[in-house]
Amino acid sequence: MYQSINPVDDQLLGRFPSWNTAQLRRHLDRARDAYHLKWRPKSVAERILALREVSRRLRTERERLARLITLEMGKPIGQSRSEVDKCVALCEYYFEVAPQVLAVQTLDGAKILPQPLGGVLGVMPWNYPIWQVFRFAIPALLAGNVVLLKPADNVPQCSAAIEALFEQALAPLCFSILWIEEPQVAQAIEHPLVQGIALTGSDRAGAIVAGQAARAIKKCVLELGGNDAYLVLRDADVVQAARQAVRSRLKNAGQSCISAKRLIVEAPVLEAFKHAFIEALEQVRMGDPFDERTELGALASAEVLLRLEAQVADARAKGAEVLVDGGRTCAHGNFFSPMLLTNIRPSMRAYREELFGPVALLFVVADEKAAIRLANDTPYGLGATVWSSDPERAERVAAQLEVGAVAINKMLSSEPRLPFGGVKRSGYGVELGPEGLLEFVNQKTLTFGG
């Protein structure tokens, strides 16, 4: 059973029943027919034409979709609108590059034909309930695959709204939702239609799904958690670095895999950075996510809040120093005011685990080498940020960070035109950029005799 619960007041908004195994099998069989008969035969130009209608509907229904995001997971309404806008930008980018990236190539008299695999199953999270879906679905569809979405349990209304957008523009079952529970994901993966899996979520979920995909010998793209380091070197613009760190850490109430979680500061600028960070943090307005002035809304669920509280409690019990105190702010809803902790040790959960909420960790290091060493001392490798007024130094440091992306002197964010993915326990494979169009493509080669 999928439940939609308002994270602001804990009110039940609706329930969506889950399917049984027979329903899942019937749906996948029908989707296989849609793939072979309706979607795969279309040219890239025809797919773009159909998906342009989806993009148009995103624009016209922007406000309704943004309000659904805010209602189901507590994101400030301005950030929800930005999420929809980013989906539109992604569509327009891929409409521009797909004809070239997916064109037949010739090489030494041979031909290379990019062809679809079949069905791509997306196991998606709740923190960006529309963006995460579009990020994998649009390139997969443009490549000629059909898309099957296993949505997050707590954002069923957003998921149903996405399905409606595609249903109105594409042939039936070219994009569809699988209303299944976690144990049924393995059954979906085993079906002959499913030839690729895209998962965004925790490293635990990634390990389970990757194992299921491996047993079925099917390709997987995993975008998992992150414990992103934010390096502030001694020659940085400290005030700007602090302000951007607050913005990064609190975006989406800190529920972002690429937000600044570990603030690693060289000792000579520690006090200046700390002062500027706390000053910026205290100016953030928390409240009703439908209020246009709100910058920090509620956490998406009681489960997320309880996990964050347990991680903070563990750190405090083991000697963490609280520089800015916060936490749960009321008996109802999932509001959590920002916190800043320091004196974080390897024995603490907060040192190794991702904190998915508005809690920042502050570390002081003696020099550049120590900063790099600490930044890499994590099982994750998604993203990082480096602040320095010396471009050569910043690039030198960035090159040594074990991550998939580094932002220099700005906040890290994913961009449609650039490949996005991680290393280590942050996953493998990429989304976005031209590379994202080719992850679920068979590069078939044709060679010719005389």
Burial (Cβ within 10 Å: 0-12, 13-18, ≥19) of residue 204? exposed
For 134, residues 6+ apart whose C-beta sits below 8 A from its C-beta are 87, 90, 91, 162
Q: Alpha helix (H) ranges present in 260-409? A: 270-282, 302-317, 349-352, 368-376, 391-399
Residue with tokens 């904190």: 355
Integer Cα distance of 91 and 220 in angstroms:
23
Q: Which position has the token pair 């529920």?
A: 255
Any residues with CB less than 8 A from the CB of 208 and at least 6 apart, and which? Answer: none
Strand ranges for 49-168 from DSSP E = 105-107, 110-116, 119-123, 146-150
CB 260 within 8 A of CB 249: yes
Task: Provide long-range contacts, Cβ within 8 A and 24+ apart, for 408-414.
Answer: 409/236, 409/237, 409/240, 409/241, 410/244, 410/385, 411/244, 411/247, 411/248, 411/260, 411/385, 412/228, 412/248, 412/258, 412/260, 412/383, 412/384, 412/385, 413/258, 414/135, 414/258
Contact 232, 398 (CB under 8 A): no
For residue 255, the one-letter residue type is Q
Q: Return the H-helix or E-strand segment holding 263.
A: strand 262-266
SS3 content of the chain, % helix, strand, coil (to 5): 45, 20, 35
Q: Is 91 a catalytic residue?
A: no
Candidates 72, 83, 223, 295; catalytic one: 223
Q: Is 174 an annotated catalytic residue? A: no
Pair type for strands 339-342 and 105-107 = unpaired
Question: Among candidates 166, 89, 77, which has minimal Cα distance to 414?
Answer: 89
Contact criterion met (CB below 8 Å) for 319 and 343: yes
> Which of the residues 257, 295, 368, 431 is marked catalytic?
257
Active site residues: 223, 257
